[in-house]
Structure 1
Amino acid sequence: MEMPKALVVRGGWEGHRPVEATGLFLPFLTQNNFEVRITDSTAVYADAPTMAETDLIVQCVTMSSIEQEELAGLRAAVADGCGFTGWHGGIADSFRASSDYLQLIGGQFATHPGKEPARRTGDETDNFLTHTVDFTPLGREHPITAGLDDFTLTTEQYWVLHDDLIDVLATTTHPVQPWHPWHRPIASPAVWTRRWGAGRIVVTTPGHSLDVLENRSVRTVIERGMLWASRTASAS
């Protein structure tokens, strides 16, 4: 039986440690019989023969830009049944200037609210808030998240703009604070899936740093999401 093929695409902003972050999941892919190809360029998305034989794309490319033919190749591959997944800014804050990419994903990072101004020290921890990831009724039954309990993280809490074509498996709520301009709590999707043509997409918003990716619940969601999104699963 031919091994399923996974394509790991990494790059963009180095603050999210794309090489080390994706490296955490390479053993899992290998253990699940994927043949893994790694690239540091989105140019592969324009390679039609490679995309046609790829069963799963794991992307970790924060911000950056993408050429039109590359994006067209990505969208076509997903619509044809290739799975697409990633975490944090590597998928939810990629290619900000591309509306076609945003439509494909169904949600876009807007901000991560910070601490009270008087408690800020000028480093990245200014944006680390203790918050809960709460599974939805759908999430409590979905193969990616079934059996997991709500969990708490102290890290960036993503505020996501999204459409209603996504299936939300978990949310996180931004509270009202005196130093913020909003007037009621805002619930943002923290884990969602999306069907696009014959393909499956999974987005997990926690994952700013390696320790978050190594959190048992976060890692479980990402790893199960890889298996669920793969063409080999969606075709069964």
Structure 2
Amino acid sequence: MSRTALVVRGGWEGHHPVAATELFLPFLQEQGFEVRVEDDPQVYADADAMSRTDLVLQSVTMSQITPEALTGLRAAVRAGTGLAGWHGGIADSFRASSDYLQLVGGQFATHPSKHPDEVRGDESDNFLDYTVEITPLGRTHEITAGIEDFTLTTEQYWVLHDDLIDVLATTTHPVRPYHPWHRTIVSPVVWTRLWGAGRVFVATPGHSLDVLQDVHVRTIIERGLLWAARAR
């Protein structure tokens, strides 16, 4: 029996929601999913459609969500629909909704910049070399098992989060004299969350297409999509 994946994309164009999600549509189809694509999260308010959806792949940075759509999304996940995504498309969506933030379990706060002398006034100001460290849980979890620590040069997300997430990978923000914090900060990079009968998967790398095509990032996302999807 085939499963249904709903791809919801939109919001801030700087995260390339169309091109980024297109990278993963062939994978979902190869895995036996019937894929539906929508450009408005209002589809979440369609209770009948959501009840038939086994996986939501969301790529909607910032933007807004109506109360009806949010209620529909939360109800669907609680009933078993999986929710998955990467970077700002899931961890920086619908900033004005505390109920959405509770569902996902982590929220983008910032991405620290380079030394002021290196700042040029474009997005590369926030591209840092950093290490993604697999946690002890991550070393045995099906999403990240077999993946060693790896490095990226891209935005290093600082995430505000709660204790209901299961963290599979982290990154450490160092102390720099040009930043105001006084000790290192460890932020989750990859996490899962159980919500009712549903599963939530988040990976924070994914600012640009080249990051999504990194072998480690792509493997983690593909495994995360399958992990989050409802089993039939």
**TM norm structure 2:** 0.99
**TM norm structure 1:** 0.98
How many Å apart are 1:161 and its aligned residue?
0.2
How many Å apart are 1:19 and its aligned residue?
0.3
Number of positions where the alignment pairs a residue of Structure 1 with one of Structure 2 = 232
Correspondence list, 1:16-95, <5 A = 16-95=15-94
**Equivalence for 1:226:** 225
Q: Tell me the secondary structure at the aligned position of residue 231 of structure 1.
A: coil
**Equivalence for 2:176:** 177
Q: Tell me the secondary structure at the aligned position of residue 211 of structure 1.
A: helix
- Once superposed, what is the RMSD of the aligned Cα atoms? 0.5
Unaligned runs of 5+ in 2: none
Looking at structure 2, the residues matched to 82 and 113 of structure 1 have their Cα atoms a distance apart, in angstroms, of: 34
How many Å apart are 1:162 and its aligned residue?
0.2
Looking at structure 1, the residues matched to 38 and 68 of structure 2 have their Cα atoms a distance apart, in angstroms, of: 17
Correspondence list, 1:155-174, <5 A = 155-174=154-173
Q: Structure 1, residues 184-214: CA drift from partner, whole Å, max 9, x if none?
A: 1100000000000000000000000000000
How many Å apart are 1:109 and its aligned residue?
0.1
Q: Tell me the secondary structure at the aligned position of residue 69 of structure 1.
A: helix
**Equivalence for 1:4:** 3
Looking at structure 2, the residues matched to 165 and 155 of structure 1 have their Cα atoms a distance apart, in angstroms, of: 27
How many Å apart are 1:93 and its aligned residue?
0.1
Looking at structure 2, the residues matched to 91 and 150 of structure 1 have their Cα atoms a distance apart, in angstroms, of: 23
Looking at structure 2, the residues matched to 150 and 59 of structure 1 have their Cα atoms a distance apart, in angstroms, of: 26
Shift >2 Å, 4+ stretches: none
Instruction: Tell me if 1:118 matches 2:117.
Output: yes
How many Å apart are 1:75 and its aligned residue?
0.2
How many Å apart are 1:183 and its aligned residue?
0.5
Unaligned runs of 5+ in 1: none
How many Å apart are 1:31 and its aligned residue?
0.4
How many Å apart are 1:171 and its aligned residue?
0.1
Q: Tell me the secondary structure at the aligned position of residue 148 of structure 2.
A: coil
How many Å apart are 1:215 and its aligned residue?
0.2
